Amino acid sequence: MKKLLFLLLLPLLLVSCGIMRGTGDAYRPDEPLSITAKLSAKVGIDEAGQSVGGILRMRRDHVIQLSLTKFGIEGARIIFTPDSLFVIDRLHKRYAANTYAAFVGLLPDARPLTFTDFQTFFWNDRNRSREEVSTTVGLIFPLEMRIKRSKIKTIEGHKIPQNTHVDLNIFDKEVDLDLTLSKVKINYNWNAHTTIPEGYTPIDTATLGKLLRKALQ
């Protein structure tokens, strides 16, 4: 259950970090900037925690892909496109795909989100080292989020942090998330198209909402 909660929390938290290292491809000004990086993530929910590795792929104005691995095996992939959000569970051969409004609807009275919001956060377009959010969910449940970014590096004009730490307090649960990127480089050699593997079973967002609420109890 906590694995599912972790998969749901990542796209909702919207966090990324990075540093330009290695050779990589030459920048192509006539194409959308494409970046790949090795990802390390640690998440703690109250006193329970786990860590995963993975790969972050971003193509400006087109797609953001998070491939999550454990012991070198891809267990899940989270994909942001301009009109949809995909959560693909490779271990159980199932997936959820819907609009951003449908996923945000898992949190009552949450403000609308779009691909632009996600891209702004992942690329650190606001160029902020610290951010704080204090609001309510469902009019009565307080939500607090604190974000710290450090080791800022510039990649073709985009100021992307090497480390990002998020503290989230929601539904009386404390969530800590640490993200670190390494081997960040300009890389155009990857598939930016989104396809669902054959034989995967769809999960509707209502079912995801029930599982999320159960995990937070």
For residue 27, give the CATH number of its domain. Answer: 2.50.20
Residue 39: domain span: 2-127+180-207
Q: Would you tell me the crossing angle of helices 205-215 and 2-13 to the nearest 10 degrees?
A: 110
**Whole-Å CA distances, 83 to 7, 61, 150, 191, 204:** 19, 11, 30, 18, 17
**57 part of a folded domain:** yes
pLDDT > 60? residue 162: yes
Structural domain includes residue 19: yes
Tell whether the model's pLDDT for residue 4 goes beyond 50: no
In-domain check, residue 166: no
CA distance 209 to 28: 41
> pLDDT tens, 66-85?
998 887 888 889 999 999 98
In a domain? residue 25: yes
Q: Is pLDDT of 41 > 70?
A: yes
Tokens of 41: 């993530």
Which three-class secondary structure state does DSSP give residue 158? strand
Q: What is the pLDDT of residues 82-129, one digit of tens each?
A: 999 898 988 889 998 988 888 776 665 566 778 888 888 888 888 888
Measured CA to CA, the distance from residue 103 to residue 107 in angstroms comes to: 8
Q: Does residue 143 belong to any structural domain of this protein?
A: no
Residue 191 domain flag: yes
Q: What is the total count of domains within the chain?
A: 1
Average pLDDT over residues 9-20: 38
Q: Strand pairing of 85-89 and 141-155?
A: unpaired
Q: Which of 62, 60, 57, 63 is nearest to 181 (CA)?
A: 57
Q: pTM, whole model, 2 decimals?
A: 0.80
Residue 72 lies in a domain: yes
Rounded-to-integer distance, Cα 64 and Cα 119, Å:
8
**Is 20 part of any domain?**
yes
The confidence score (pLDDT) of residue 116 equals 85
Helices H, strands E: what count in the chain? 4, 11
